[in-house]
Amino acid sequence: MTHPLRLGVNIDHVATIRNARGGDHPDPVRAAQIVASVGGDGITAHLREDRRHIRDDDLQRIQDATALPLNLEMAATEEMLDIALRHMPHAACIVPEKREERTTEGGLDAAGLHNTLAPIVSKLKNHGIRVSLFIEAQERQLNAALKLGVPVVEFHTGEYAHAHLAGDSERTQRELRRIADMSALAAKNGIEPHAGHGLTYENVQPIAAIPQLAELNIGHYLVGEAVFVGLEQAVRQMRELMDEAR
């Protein structure tokens, strides 16, 4: 069965550009309002330990300025747990975080980190926050997510995106199959599968065609495109490609 596919727009890199000059322009809040005005389904923001893009006060301002659900990407730390419980976003996606990385380079080791994740997942869940784990599309990680009792997993599409960019069609197909198989397995086990990372106009459609996926979270490419065509048009075009693929 094919479900509607939501588009969550990650606005982190609007804040990256703002922070490059230390002022308040461009404001990620304005980006969130534009996303809402063109029918985006949610706002995704990653509050990193080093605050390199989104900052603490942005979270409240985003929540105040739009009615769209906020998906807070967060590391599994006490500091981030406190912030999540203070802001009560609609959803929290737990991601691995390394200070020196340029971006979230791989999935969370949900299997290896069970004891660290269990109390954080249960506190978020007890407060009514929809918890997701950002994992590789691997059965071991999906089983760990099942054991942790999360309602949602987001599959990391970075390897797929790399293979696609390299023009390696065999590897691209292999990565795609892995994400499709794990999406089907997640749905079969009652977990809602999402996907994201490195998605572009060129590579989004085979992912969007995976029938069990309920949400894609896309950021860097949309903000990059927005430089040329505006955020409104970039989100519209991504939405169209996603719809066409279903």
CB of 103 to ligand PXP, least distance (A): 5
Strand 152-156 to strand 130-135: parallel, antiparallel, or no bridges (unpaired)?
Answer: parallel
Nearer to ligand PXP, 25 or 102 (CB): 102
Please list every residue from 16 through 45 that binds ligand PXP, using CB under 6 A.
none
197 catalytic residue (yes or no):
yes
- In SS3 terms, 161-228 reads as HHHHHCCCHHHHHHHHHHHHHHHHHHHHCCCEEEEECCCCCCCHHHHHCCCCCCEEEECHHHHHHHHH
Q: How far apart are CA 125 and CA 167, in angstroms?
A: 41
The residues near 150 (Cβ < 8 Å, ≥ 6 apart) are: 121, 125, 131, 132, 133, 191
Catalytic entry in 13, 164, 194, 197: 197
Q: Any contact of residue 183 with ligand PXP (CB under 6 A)?
A: no
Please list every residue from 93 through 122 that binds ligand PXP, using CB under 6 A.
93, 95, 103-104
Q: Any contact of residue 193 with ligand PXP (CB under 6 A)?
A: no
The residues near 202 (Cβ < 8 Å, ≥ 6 apart) are: 164
Q: Any contact of residue 198 with ligand PXP (CB under 6 A)?
A: yes
CB of 194 to ligand PXP, least distance (A): 8
127 catalytic residue (yes or no):
no
Q: Which of 5, 9, 10, 75 binds ligand PXP (CB under 6 A)?
A: 10
CB of 146 to ligand PXP, least distance (A): 19
Q: How far is CA 119 from CA 64, 70, 81, 143, in A?
A: 29, 22, 10, 18
Catalytic entry in 46, 53, 156, 194: 46
Q: Any contact of residue 180 with ligand PXP (CB under 6 A)?
A: no
Q: How far apart are CA 131 and CA 110, in angstroms?
A: 13
**Site residues (vs ligand PXP, CB under 6 A):** 10, 46, 73, 93, 95, 103-104, 134, 154, 196-199, 217-221
The residues annotated as belonging to the active site are 46, 73, 197
